[in-house]
């Protein structure tokens, strides 16, 4: 503002002092304009000393113009004043651009810092997730290995149990499960449903094997040959199945896991015309369910 006022004063001085005698040289006119621009631009804020010096150069030119309007000296001083004013203007622009650059660099550094922090946070989060996942995988692998071990052990026990069963009874596999067949001759006296002493020993082994096999649903089925009345046979087969069931429960098989049914002569495994066939048909079968379901 101060410089605008100065320019105005210089202009008035010029008009009042010398206008009547001679027109100012082109360099002086341009110098005034250049100084006016410089004093209104960034230099007025950022290059005060340079602007002050340019003002001095312009004043010298103005004085020279007052004293010797058309002289080479006035033209040369005006030329120098013009260049000084242009130089100040350029320096003002330079300093302003430098300030803008510094602000931009600070902003960029701040942004980069923020982004770095965010990236580091995200990285830490990812690392934590990775660690969690690795722990989960390790735990799963451990559990899988333990489960595999348990399965192998269970299979080994089941196989051992089956093997011991095969030593005391006929064992066969059917779709409904493992069928353990015990001859009626071994278990009961003719027409009776009470277990013979030898039968108890046999059933002890069967019970141990069944317990070793793990929790399975068991059905004890009583079968007879076709001699005698069907109703009596039916009743006898049920009583025998219940005897076996009761004994197995007494040997540790859970009550809820085992049921008994009497099938009479309805499911012969051999012809009833021969004594051997009838002997085979008089039997108790224990059906060991493959599934874990238990029903009573």
Partner 1 sequence: MKTLTRLMMFASLALVGCGGTAASTARMGATQAAIRSAGEVGAEREPTAALHLQYAREQFTQAEQLSRSGEGERAERVLARAEADAELALALSRRSASISAAGQAASEVREARSRPTPTSTPTPPAAPPTAPQPTP
Residues contributing to the site for partner 1 (CB under 8 A): 53, 72-73, 76-77, 79-80, 83-84, 86-87, 90-91, 93-95, 97-98, 100-101, 104-105, 107-108, 111-112, 115, 118-119, 121-123, 125, 128-129, 132-133, 135-136, 139-140, 143-144, 147, 150-151, 154, 214-216, 292
Answer yes or no: are the C-beta atoms of 250 and 243 closer than 8 Å: no
Q: Phi and psi dihedrals of 56, rounded to 5?
A: -60, -40
**What is the closest distance, in whole angstroms, from the C-beta atom of residue 78 to partner 1 in the complex?**
10
**What is the closest distance, in whole angstroms, from the C-beta atom of residue 174 to partner 1 in the complex?**
20
Q: Do β-strands 177-183 and 218-223 pair in parallel, antiparallel, or remain unpaired? A: unpaired
**CB nearer to partner 1: pick between 100 and 163:** 100
**CB nearer to partner 1: pick between 71 and 201:** 71
CA atoms within 13 A on the CB side of 282: 21
CA atoms within 13 A on the CB side of 152: 6
b or e along 64-103 (b: 16 or more beta carbons within 10 Å of the residue's beta carbon)? bbeeebeeeebbebbbbbbbbbbbbbebbbebbeeeeeee
**CB nearer to partner 1: pick between 10 and 47:** 47
**What is the closest distance, in whole angstroms, from the C-beta atom of residue 118 to partner 1 in the complex?**
5
Q: How far apart are the first and last CA of the chain?
A: 108
**What is the closest distance, in whole angstroms, from the C-beta atom of residue 289 to partner 1 in the complex?**
11
**What is the closest distance, in whole angstroms, from the C-beta atom of residue 279 to partner 1 in the complex?**
36
Answer yes or no: are the C-beta atoms of 288 and 213 closer than 8 Å: yes
**CB nearer to partner 1: pick between 100 and 276:** 100
b or e along 36-47 (b: 16 or more beta carbons within 10 Å of the residue's beta carbon)? bbbbebbbbebb
Radius of gyration of the chain (CA): 59
**CB nearer to partner 1: pick between 38 and 236:** 38
Q: What's the distance, CA 187 to chain centroid?
A: 62
CA neighbor of 209 nearest in space, from 153, 159, 259, 283: 159
Tokens 């902003």 map to which residue?
Answer: 107
Alpha carbons 270 and 168: distance in angstroms, whole number: 21
């Amino acid at each position: 503002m101060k410089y605008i006022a100065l320019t105005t004063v210089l202009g008035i001085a010029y008009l009042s002092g010398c206008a009547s005698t001679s027109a100012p040289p082109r360099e002086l006119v341009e110098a005034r304009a250049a100084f006016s621009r410089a004093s209104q631009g960034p230099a007025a804020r950022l290059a005060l000393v340079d602007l002050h010096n340019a003002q001095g150069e312009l004043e010298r030119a103005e004085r020279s113009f007052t004293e010797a309007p058309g002289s080479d000296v006035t033209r040369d001083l005006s030329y120098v004043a013009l260049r000084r004013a242009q130089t100040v203007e350029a320096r003002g622009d330079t300093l302003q651009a430098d300030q803008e650059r510094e602000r931009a660099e600070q902003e960029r550094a701040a942004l980069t810092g923020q982004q770095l922090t965010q990236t580091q946070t995200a990285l830490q989060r990812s690392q934590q997730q990775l660690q969690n996942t690795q722990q989960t995988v390790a735990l799963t692998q451990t559990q899988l290995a333990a489960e595999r071990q348990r399965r192998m052990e269970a299979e080994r026990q089941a196989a051992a149990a089956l093997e011991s069963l095969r030593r005391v009874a006929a064992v066969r596999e059917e779709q409904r499960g493992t069928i353990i067949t015990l001859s009626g001759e071994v278990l009961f006296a003719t027409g009776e449903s009470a277990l013979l002493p030898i039968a108890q020993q046999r059933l002890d082994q069967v019970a141990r094997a069944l317990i070793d096999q793990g929790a399975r649903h068991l059905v004890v089925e009583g079968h007879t040959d076709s001699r005698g009345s069907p109703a009596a046979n039916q009743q006898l087969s049920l009583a025998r199945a219940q005897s076996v069931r009761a004994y197995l429960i007494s040997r540790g098989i859970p009550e809820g896991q085992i049921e008994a049914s009497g099938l009479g002569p309805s499911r012969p495994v051999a012809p009833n015309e021969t004594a051997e066939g009838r002997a085979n048909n008089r039997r108790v079968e224990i059906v060991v369910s493959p599934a874990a379901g238990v029903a009573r």
